[in-house]
Structure 1
Amino acid sequence: MINAVIFDMDGVLIDTEKYLVRFWVQAGREAGFDVRPEHGLLIRSLAGKYAGPLLKKIFGKNFDYPAVRARRKELMARHIAENGLEKKPFVDETLDALRSMGIKTAVATATDRERARKYLTQIGVLDKFNKIICADMVENGKPQPDIYLYACSQIGEVPKNCMAVEDSPNGVRSAASAGLVTVMVPDLTPPDDELKALIQAKGESLKDIPEIVKRINGRDMDFQI
């Protein structure tokens, strides 16, 4: 029985993943490294303690992850200040539908708590969530299960009674390893064979989430849509 739905933020609630990739590329190239879009895709939702070593492995020990990340954040902040945030389709309708069904909602994001609350306020949905759980609240970020386990504890539910909505491979791995019913709503990349084995359903958009919850709650928990 699904009693709560926990959403990733970037790429699920706000349309920012394309800019994260774009500005990782720009910041990396400004620093003299051949950073390409596939590298940005690789580190979506990946905690810094894992992303830094991974990028050093790819680009060499001289890759200054903190400096490049700081520049990426600067570029991203400037873009958002000038252009605002794009809310993903059906965010409000989905959250309102889940609330009407008596389903708790939360956010589990790789973004720090200050920016997460700022972004969710900007798109007008902060008060629609029971809890906002951020990467800086746990020891190990995505793809480790910590953030989802902590989110479940904060909303008073066991993982098997919670659904995670994710768009990226690292997010899917985090939610699935925590034992949540995991649904992928792809943003920049579709699920590959590895991810298909980890998810219980794939949505075309957030609009599908309430119906998926209804179908899960009306059937055996081991089903696949």
Structure 2
Amino acid sequence: MEKKTGYDAVVFDMDGVIFDSERAVMQCWKELADKYQIPDIEKAVLSCTGTTMKRTREIMLEIYGEDFPYDIYAKESSAIYHSRYDGGRLPMKPGVVELLTFLKEDGKKIALASSTRRQTVTNQLKDAGILNFFDNVICGDMVEHSKPAPDIFLKACAELGVAPERAYAIEDSYNGIRAAHAGHLLPIMVPDLLPANEEMQEKAEVVLPDLFEVIAYLKGEGAC
């Protein structure tokens, strides 16, 4: 297979790609579901994957009704999450540091495009000791439209000074792949909680099992 030379940058999603945070969030909500008898919580939380806090609230109210005390539950879930994972305790996905190091040494630009708000993103990257790898960090509270709209990826490319067509986007969520595809980036899907369905297979350049395989793919040694 030919070596990948036609790209200038890689734009990462954070939750589910860099950190194993989506599984952690799910666990917090499952505990609340047991406590408050909330039905079908896994399906509801999965439907919010890759969206902003605002959109998550809208989705949860659409599912459970306008009288659902989402704000109360979300605050309790957040408290559980931060008590467990703040201060560098949030587990990173295997291969994160290796991939970031490879890209940096290869002279590629690196950005983050996360639907999470900026303060949380910055804190988590800093606590993990990887913030300095990123040339730009674009967050959900910095764009008007959240994923699956392409705004956040287009802003990341603009900040980096690269054409979207010459930037890979690494995503785990359906909304993330939709956003990268709509923005004409080259989407790589590394599934986390949800497997790649037919739509994802069509929209992604490639679906890979982990970040080590992403390194191999970008080197031209992986599957096409």
Distance between the aligned counterparts of 1:138 and 1:27, measured in 2? 31
How many residues in Structure 1 have an aligned counterpart in Structure 2? 218
Name 2:72's counterpart in structure 1.
Answer: 67
Q: How far apart are residue 31 of structure 1 and its match?
A: 5.3
Deviations 1:58-97 (A, max 9, x none): 1111123333322221121111148811111111111111
Distance between the aligned counterparts of 2:112 and 2:185, measured in 1? 14
Name 1:109's counterpart in structure 2.
Answer: 114
Name 1:119's counterpart in structure 2.
Answer: 124
1:140-179 to 2 correspondence within 5 Å?
140-179=145-184
Deviations 1:172-209 (A, max 9, x none): 11111111100011112210011111100112211122
Distance between the aligned counterparts of 1:178 and 1:27, measured in 2? 36
Distance between the aligned counterparts of 1:203 and 1:50, measured in 2? 28
Among candidates 15, 31, 45, match of residue 40 of structure 1:
45
Name 1:136's counterpart in structure 2.
Answer: 141
Is the 8 Å Cα contact of residues 109 and 134 (structure 1) preserved in structure 2? yes
Distance between the aligned counterparts of 1:56 and 1:83, measured in 2? 32
Q: How far apart are residue 21 of structure 1 and its match?
A: 1.3
Distance between the aligned counterparts of 1:123 and 1:50, measured in 2? 27
Question: Which amino acid counterpart does residue 122 of structure 1 have in structure 2?
Answer: D
TM-score (norm 2): 0.89
**Is 2:91 the counterpart of 1:86?**
yes
Question: Which amino acid counterpart does residue 23 of structure 1 have in structure 2?
Answer: C
Among candidates 101, 104, 107, match of residue 99 of structure 1:
104
Q: Unaligned 5+ residue runs, structure 2?
A: 1-5
Q: Unaligned 5+ residue runs, structure 1?
A: 217-223
Q: How far apart are residue 29 of structure 1 and its match?
A: 5.6
- Alpha-carbon RMSD across the aligned residues, in angstroms, is 2.1
Name 1:52's counterpart in structure 2.
Answer: 57
**Is 2:208 the counterpart of 1:206?**
no
Distance between the aligned counterparts of 2:36 and 2:87, measured in 1? 24
TM-score (norm 1): 0.89
